[in-house]
Each structure stands twice: as C-alpha cells, then as structure tokens.
Chain A
Amino acid sequence: MAKNHTIGIVDYGAGNLKSVELALAHLGYSWLTSGEASKLASCDKLIIPGDGHAGSTMEVLNKSGLSDFIKSYYQSGRWILGICIGCQIVLDGSDEAEVACLGLIPGRCHKLPGGPGLKVPHMGWNVCVPKNEHFAFKGVPKEASFYFVHSYYTKPVSSDDVIGISDHGIDFASAIGRDNLLAFQFHPEKSGPWGLKLLDNFLGAQ
C-alpha cells in the first residue's frame, strides 16, 4: 500500500489531536490537520478524532460547515474513521445533548448505567471483541485491549453496523461501521501496538 496519500484530521477546536498526528507519523503517513472543509476535501481519508461533548462538538461542526462536508465526504465513498466523540456523532443523536448528529449510521448514544464497582466514565483498558472477521482487526488478537475514556456508548439500530463489542456492566458496541465509515469508541492512537495495528489497517483500506 502506497503511503504517499494524505490523511485529513478534522480539527473542531476540541480534544487533543497531537496523539493522532504522532501515531500517523509513526506509521509513515502524512496528514493535514484543519478545521476548513475546503482544505480537507482533497484528503484521501478522513479522521474525526477527539474527546468532548456531543453538544459542543456538533455546534462547532454545524457552524463551520464541517457537518455537511463530512456527510458529502462519506457519500463520495472515501474512508472515514471516527474516534471517541468522533465515533458517537456518526449516529443520529445522543442522550448527552438535544442536537441532531451526523446520522450516517442509524442509532443513538446512551449513558453507561454504571453500578456497584462500575465507575462512569469507563476509563482504562478493555477488550473489543469483533463479532465477525473484519479487515480493521486483521492481525489483531481477540484478547487485545484498547484504551477507553467515555460516559456514553453507541447503540446502532441494526446489529449489521456493529463490528466489535465491549463490556462495562452491559455489552455495548465499541467498534461500528457502515460502507466506507469505521468508528471506534476507544482511542487506537493511545492503545499500544494493537491500537496502531488497527489504525494501520484503516489507513490501508481501499
């Protein structure tokens, strides 16, 4: 796979983009970090990273025109990767905020219920078990763990959109996808060698 193409990192003014950039550098890819749709439009793949709040994230994406841009980018058939909040906003909405999200995958985000011994946010390392074989998990062992920090979880309407499942009191979808869209609730860029492997698999997607 040629690595001479450019990965666009969507900068919506929140969250730490540095670790995603450093992971791409480590894997030998060049990137462009921008909050402007016109600059990101020519990128070969798109990453929507970030920590943050669904409400404030959507507010910035809507105001800057990035929401419409991401939707049209998805329609163009090029690959998109959502990470953490960037994973949650690809659904229709979230219980975190009364705002419409991108709606690329039918479904909603709900708050993790927690419970005795189950702290929320769900923060730390946990497994994400793929339901079926998936190119993103190629070469990654089933018992591999990834780094999570979140209080809300994605619930796609169709189980066909669920790629991998994690457990924190309840089983929830921690890797989802549809067509040319892939999204992880955890941070592959902060998940050691197996996280980097997932990123590399995404970056190599045709």
Chain B
Amino acid sequence: MLEKRIVVCLDVKEGKTTKGVRFKDNIELGDPVVMAKNYYDQGVDELVFYDITASAEKRGIMIDVVRRVAEQIFIPFCVGGGIATLQDIRAVIMAGAEKVSLNTQAVKNPQLISEGAWAFGSQAIVLGMDAIKDPSFPSGYRVVVNGGRTPTELDALAWALEAQRLGAGEIVLNSIDADGTREGYELTITRRISEAVNIPVVASGGAGQPSHLEEVLSTGKADAALIASMVHFGDYTIASIKKDLHRAGVNVRMI
C-alpha cells in the first residue's frame, strides 16, 4: 500500500537555509546540504528546496546546492523558486533534482507546465500553489502569487484542475492563512483539491505538531505533508513524527 510521505521544505537564500513566518522576517538556519543529509539520515521521504534568492546573478548558487545534495542523498527532491523557462527546468533536473516546482511563473505562463511535462515527463513537473481564503471565489479560496503578496483572479480548485490537465504530476498546496502559524494545516481546501484531482497533493503550511500531519493525511486526504519549522528548530525529528503517525494508524515509511 502506498505510504503517506513526509516532505521537508528548505527555503534557500543565496546558498543558506532560512525560515520566516508568512514569508517575512527570515532567519538563517545553516547549510542546506548538511541539513538535507541530516533529514535523509532521519528517514525523510522527500525534500523541497525553495530558492528565495532575490538577485538573478546569484541564482547559480542554487544549482551548486542541487548538485551537492544529489551527490549525498538518494531520495527524490524538488526545486522551486524563480523557475521561468524550459532552460531553468533543464538546469535543475540535470543537476540531479527529480522535480521542479512552478508557482508564479506557471500562473504567468501556463504553457510552461505543458512544455515541461512534454520535455521531462509529468513526474518532474510540480505545481506549487499558494491559496488564501476568499469567499467570493467558487471554491472559497483564491490563488496568490509572488510569495503570497499578489492576488490573482484564479480560483484554487479550478487552477489545480487546469494544472493537472496541462500535465502537472503533483500539486504542493500551500495555505497562506496557515503558513508559519504552527496551528495546523488548512484541511478544507486540501481535501477538496485532493478529492478532485488524480495526481498527488502535498499539503503545506501550518504544521506545528504531529497531530496536524495526521489530520491532513487522513481528514484532509493529502498524499503527503510538508513541514519546515517543526524540524528546523529541533522541536521534532522525522523519526519521532513518523512514530507518532504510525501509532495513529497512518501508513508511513519506517526505516
């Protein structure tokens, strides 16, 4: 039986891991390669590296990080942030990443999803989506871009279905309302999207304790749960979270 995945997200700025609350007030946490290896040894199922480097000329640092991660960890990992062209996708994949996550650029240019899926396969193309509660939209959630700062006219559920149609192989659904709060995932939209699409949905934003993961993987019907602060600050380990999930009856990979 397919196991529920625990995915750790590392925000990387100019080659260093950082973490902020609601995309603000970032603090530096360390070398992403060292952190990735540590989570790999603990039994994490997948990693996401999100490049939040602002300046274009320092983007090359991320490719070097990807290369060094690929030499040391032998599980799938995804890279997102600032990927705007097929060449960007190719560079990340050729450096050893399994997948790329397209977010703002996919909204600006949806063809990037289909072109990426055609060139590298759907399994390599992840739609990253930031959603915020907005009752004026049909699903009750609106897509926002640019790290949550810019609202779009896209409905979250409709965009998920469109991305699947274009060839996305997975969706990372991040709740802007819940992100960084540590008060639990946004269950409602996670469940709605997960039940509507036939590709895996990774829930993101709001994890603060293992019971939050259990909720989103069972009630929220997510295929995977993304965490960051819970493990970055040493409150939990991957092993301790998996032990709790296993005890709660969630099927997870034990190593």
Residue positions of A touching B, CB distance < 8 A: 15-16, 18-19, 22-23, 25-26, 51-52, 114, 117-127, 143-145, 147-149, 167-168, 189-196
Chain A contacts of B1 at CB under 8 A?
126-127, 167-168
Looking at the complex, which of B17-25, B69-77, B173-181 is the stretch in contact with chain A? B69-77
Alpha-carbon separation in the docked complex, A121 to B199 (Å): 7
Which residues in window 190-243 of B have CB below 8 A to A? 198-200, 221, 223-224
**What is the count of residue pairs linking A and B with beta-carbon distances less than 8 angstroms?**
89
Looking at the complex, which of B52-60, B91-99, B140-148 is the stretch in contact with chain A? B91-99
Residue positions of B touching A, CB distance < 8 A: 1-3, 5, 40, 43, 45, 70-71, 74-76, 93-96, 98, 120-124, 169-170, 198-200, 221, 223-224, 253-255
Chain B contacts of A18 at CB under 8 A?
70, 93-96
Chain A contacts of B5 at CB under 8 A?
124-125
Name the residue in B40, B45, B95 with the highest tally of chain A Cβ atoms < 10 Å from its Cβ: B45
**B224 and A124 contacting across the interface, CB-CB below 8 Å:** yes
Chain A contacts of B98 at CB under 8 A?
16, 19, 190
**A189 and B2 contacting across the interface, CB-CB below 8 Å:** no
Chain A contacts of B70 at CB under 8 A?
18-19, 22
Main secondary structure of the interface of A (DSSP, over half): mixed
Q: Which residue of B lies closest to A122 (CB)?
A: B2
Tell me whether A123 and B200 are in contact in the complex, defined as CB-CB below 8 angstroms, given that A23-B74, A168-B2 are known contacts: yes
From A117, A168, A191, contact of B75 by CB (8 A) = A191
Other than A123-B200, A124-B45, give 13 A-B pairs with Cβ distance below 8 A: A18-B94, A18-B95, A23-B74, A26-B74, A119-B198, A119-B200, A119-B223, A121-B122, A123-B169, A168-B1, A191-B75, A192-B255, A194-B255
**B200 and A51 contacting across the interface, CB-CB below 8 Å:** no
**B96 and A19 contacting across the interface, CB-CB below 8 Å:** yes
Tell me whether A125 and B169 are in contact in the complex, defined as CB-CB below 8 angstroms, given that A22-B96, A23-B74, A120-B198 are known contacts: no
Chain B contacts of A144 at CB under 8 A?
255
Cβ of A72 to closest chain B Cβ, rounded Å: 29
Tell me whether A191 and B74 are in contact in the complex, defined as CB-CB below 8 angstroms, given that A19-B96, A51-B123, A145-B253 are known contacts: yes
Alpha-carbon separation in the docked complex, A18 to B198 (Å): 28
From B74, B94, B124, B223, contact of A124 by CB (8 A) = B223
Cβ of B88 to closest chain A Cβ, rounded Å: 16
**A16 and B93 contacting across the interface, CB-CB below 8 Å:** yes
Cβ of A188 to closest chain B Cβ, rounded Å: 9
Alpha-carbon separation in the docked complex, A196 to B72 (Å): 12
**B74 and A192 contacting across the interface, CB-CB below 8 Å:** yes
Chain A contacts of B95 at CB under 8 A?
18
Cβ of A196 to closest chain B Cβ, rounded Å: 6
**B255 and A125 contacting across the interface, CB-CB below 8 Å:** no
**B121 and A52 contacting across the interface, CB-CB below 8 Å:** yes
Alpha-carbon separation in the docked complex, A51 to B169 (Å): 13
Alpha-carbon separation in the docked complex, A191 to B73 (Å): 10
Tell me whether A189 and B224 are in contact in the complex, defined as CB-CB below 8 angstroms, given that A119-B200, A126-B2 are known contacts: no
From B40, B120, B170, contact of A123 by CB (8 A) = B170
Alpha-carbon separation in the docked complex, A167 to B223 (Å): 16
**A124 and B198 contacting across the interface, CB-CB below 8 Å:** no
Cβ of B153 to closest chain A Cβ, rounded Å: 29
**B74 and A149 contacting across the interface, CB-CB below 8 Å:** no
